[in-house]
Chains A and B, each alone.
Chain A
Amino acid sequence: MNKIRAFFILLPIAAFALVGCDTEVIDNPIIITSGIAKIRHPMDSTEHYFQLGDTIVYKFEVTSPNGISKIEFSNFQGVGVNQKAPVILSKVENLSGTTWTLVDTIKNIQEDVRYSIYVEDKNRQFKTQQINAYLDISRFMALVLYDGLINGTSKTFLNVESGRTFFVANTINDPTAMDFGFAFLEAHSAVLACFVSFDEYWNTGNYPSIVNNLNQPIIFKKWGIGTTVNTWIKANVKNSADLKAKFDAAINYPTVAPLFPDTKVALNIKAKDVISFKTADGRYGLIQVTYVNARSNSTANNQTITLSMVVDKKPLTNN
Chain B
Amino acid sequence: METTKNIKMRKLQSKLYFVLTLIVILSLGACTPEKLSAPPTIQVFVNGDDVTSASTVHVTAGSRIEYRFDVTAFTTIADLKTVFFDIAIPSKKITKEVLVAGQANALTESVKGVIFASSDTEIMLVVKDIDRNEVAKSFTFIVD
Binding site for B on A (CB under 8 A): 150-152, 168-169, 171-175, 187, 198, 201-205, 207-214, 258-259
Contact = CB atoms under 8 A, between A and B. Distances in A.
B106 A201 contact: no
B115 A209 contact: no
B142 to A, nearest CB: 19
Contact of A172 (B62, B97, B102, B114): B102
Which 4 A-B pairs have CB atoms at the shortest separation, nearest pair first? A208-B113, A210-B102, A209-B101, A152-B99
Q: For the side of the interface on B, what is the size category?
A: 20 to 34
6 contacts: A152-B99, A171-B101, A172-B101, A208-B100, A208-B101, A210-B109
A2 B70 CA distance: 74
Contacts of B108: 212
Contacts of B115: 205
Nearest to B69: A208
B100 A210 contact: yes
A208 B112 CA distance: 5
Contacts of A209: 100-102, 111-113
B68 to A, nearest CB: 8
Given A172-B103, A204-B114, 10 more contacts: A174-B103, A187-B116, A202-B112, A208-B98, A209-B100, A209-B113, A211-B102, A211-B111, A212-B110, A259-B64
A210 B111 contact: yes
B96 A210 contact: no
A202 B96 contact: no
Q: Which of A173, A207, A208, A214 has the most C-beta atoms of chain B within 10 angstroms of its own C-beta?
A: A208
A205 B116 CA distance: 8
Interface of B is mostly: strand
A76 B51 CA distance: 58
B80 interface: yes
Contacts of A151: 97, 99
Given A210-B111, A212-B106, A175 B101 contact: yes
Contacts of B66: 258
Nearest to B71: A210
Contacts of B96: 150
A207 B123 CA distance: 13
Interface in B71-125: 80, 82, 96-106, 108-116
Nearest to A209: B101
Nearest to A153: B99
A175 B98 contact: no
Contacts of B102: 171-172, 175, 209-214
Contacts of A171: 101-103
B64 A208 contact: no
B64 A168 contact: no
B109 to A, nearest CB: 5
Contacts of A212: 102, 105-106, 108-110
Contacts of B99: 150-152, 168-169, 172, 207
Given A152-B99, A207-B99, A202 B114 contact: yes
A210 B101 contact: yes
A110 to B, nearest CB: 36
A66 to B, nearest CB: 53
B19 to A, nearest CB: 29
Nearest to A259: B64
Q: Which of B99, B103, B106 has the most C-beta atoms of chain A within 10 angstroms of its own C-beta?
A: B99
A15 B135 CA distance: 62
Interface in B38-69: 62, 64, 66-67
A173 B114 contact: no
B103 A211 contact: no
Contacts of B62: 187
A201 B101 contact: yes
A264 to B, nearest CB: 14
A189 to B, nearest CB: 13
Interface string B8-22: 000000000000000
Contacts of A152: 99
A168 B101 contact: yes
A210 B115 CA distance: 16
A286 to B, nearest CB: 26
